[in-house]
């Protein structure tokens, strides 16, 4: 019922030239994929990526978006700017933004609302730190982040939202949550969305797992009933690896 969605998060990797090479390798490998395929790329590579993937089954996304339309926000980028160069998705509230760049539940909420208002589809990241998991606070943390991100939205807005559950301790560490752990927390996040927006919205919402997802563990993760896709960092930088995850 929910179409799986596998998204690459390139982070601060790949110049335009490097992007061109990677997309050239990737396109034929994923052309027959059953899952929806997205690559979220650095701002400078969006336009080229959109050109190169036009007419293909690969959508292009950004890695952040400002909460305001325009104005005095040095270093930020607007939804209109992203749309103009061909982005259709945008990652919001990635743990690296929360940890290193002061992103809060409130800025995540404001950016998400702005993306939706402008027709960009947000991939909203939530997830607990290792210390939070070890002290039994995983559910409390993901509930606070989920309620914070989607406060004030409508059921219709939620049709265009994707959530990525990324336990922070599993990102870039090679430590994956077990498929059961990931599914358990994702099912909990779905229950939080159900409380906010009702069963229909919760059942239709796609929730990805992210954190060291790779060709070796994708099959087991995707076999879980509540896991609807992946947000892939490291393994999205190699065409063959990313294609294997896409075709889990
Ligand atoms: P990783 O990153 O796959 O390299 O762990 C995932 C992410 O940060 O989105």
pLDDT in tens, 109-165: 999 999 999 999 999 999 999 999 999 999 999 999 999 999 999 999 999 999 999
Known catalytic membership, residue 132: no
Q: Which atom of ligand 1 is nearest to the CA of 9?
A: 9
Q: What angle do CA 194, 232, 126 make, to 5 degrees?
A: 35
Share of the chain above pLDDT 70, in %: 100
Catalytic residue among 36, 94, 96, 128, which? Answer: 94
Our mutation pick for probing the ligand 1 site, out of 163, 167, 231, 244, counting the most ligand atoms within 8 A of Cβ, is 231
Known catalytic membership, residue 106: no
Ligand 1: centre distance to CA 70 (Å): 30
Q: What angle do CA 180, 182, 183 make, to 5 degrees?
A: 65
**Alpha carbon distance 75, 4 (integer Å):** 33
Residue 170 DSSP one-character state:
G
What's the confidence (pLDDT) of residue 175? 83
Q: Which two three-digit tokens encode residue 50?
A: 């959109």
- Residue 41 contacts residue 61 (beta carbons within 8 Å): yes
Q: Is 157 in the pocket of ligand 1 (CB under 6 A)?
A: no
Ligand 1: centre distance to CA 72 (Å): 31
Ligand 1: centre distance to CA 128 (Å): 14
What's the N-to-C CA distance of the chain in angstroms? 18
What's the confidence (pLDDT) of residue 1? 84
CA distances to 19, 102, 120, 208, 226 from 29, rounded to whole Å, are 16, 37, 26, 22, 26
What's the confidence (pLDDT) of residue 28? 98
Q: Where in 26-128 does DSSP place strands (E)?
A: 36-40, 58-62, 89-92, 121-126
Spatial CB neighbours of 141, under 8 Å, sequence gap ≥ 6: 126, 127, 128, 129, 132
Q: Which two three-digit tokens encode residue 36?
A: 């929806």
Residues of the chain with pLDDT under 70: none
Reduced to 3 states (helix: H, G, I; strand: E, B; else coil), residue 220 is: helix
What's the confidence (pLDDT) of residue 110? 98
Q: Which atom of ligand 1 is nearest to the CA of 214?
A: 3
Closest among 85, 35, 16, 2 to 242, alpha carbons compared: 35
Q: Is 231 in the pocket of ligand 1 (CB under 6 A)?
A: yes
What's the confidence (pLDDT) of residue 139? 98
Our mutation pick for probing the ligand 1 site, out of 96, 210, 221, counting the most ligand atoms within 8 A of Cβ, is 210
Measured in whole angstroms, the distance separating CA 108 from the mean position of its chain's CA atoms is 13
What's the confidence (pLDDT) of residue 247? 97
Reduced to 3 states (helix: H, G, I; strand: E, B; else coil), residue 39 is: strand
Q: Is 166 in the pocket of ligand 1 (CB under 6 A)?
A: yes
Strand partners, 39: 8, 60
């Amino acid at each position: 019922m929910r179409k799986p969605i596998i998204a690459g998060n390139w982070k601060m990797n790949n110049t335009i030239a490097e992007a061109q090479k990677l997309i050239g390798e990737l396109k034929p490998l994923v052309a027959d994929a059953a899952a929806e395929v997205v690559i979220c790329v650095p701002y400078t590579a969006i336009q080229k990526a959109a050109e190169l993937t036009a007419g293909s089954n690969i959508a292009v996304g950004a890695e952040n978006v400002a909460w305001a339309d325009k104005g005095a926000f040095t270093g930020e980028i607007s939804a209109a700017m992203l749309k103009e160069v061909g982005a259709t998705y945008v990652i919001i509230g990635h743990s690296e933004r929360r940890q290193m760049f002061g992103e809060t539940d409130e800025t995540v909420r404001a950016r998400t609302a702005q993306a939706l208002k402008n027709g960009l589809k947000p991939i909203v990241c939530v997830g607990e730190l290792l210390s939070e998991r070890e002290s039994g606070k995983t559910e409390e943390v993901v509930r606070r982040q989920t309620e914070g991100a989607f406060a004030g939205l409508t059921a219709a807005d939620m049709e265009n939202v994707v959530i990525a559950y990324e336990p922070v301790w599993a990102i870039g560490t090679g430590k994956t949550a077990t498929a059961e752990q990931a599914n358990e927390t994702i099912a909990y996040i779905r229950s939080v969305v159900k409380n906010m927006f009702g069963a229909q919205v919760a059942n239709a919402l796609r929730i990805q797992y992210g954190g060291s997802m790779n060709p070796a563990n994708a099959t087991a993760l995707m076999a879980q009933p509540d896991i609807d896709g992946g947000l892939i960092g490291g393994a999205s930088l190699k065409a063959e690896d990313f294609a294997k995850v896409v075709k889990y």
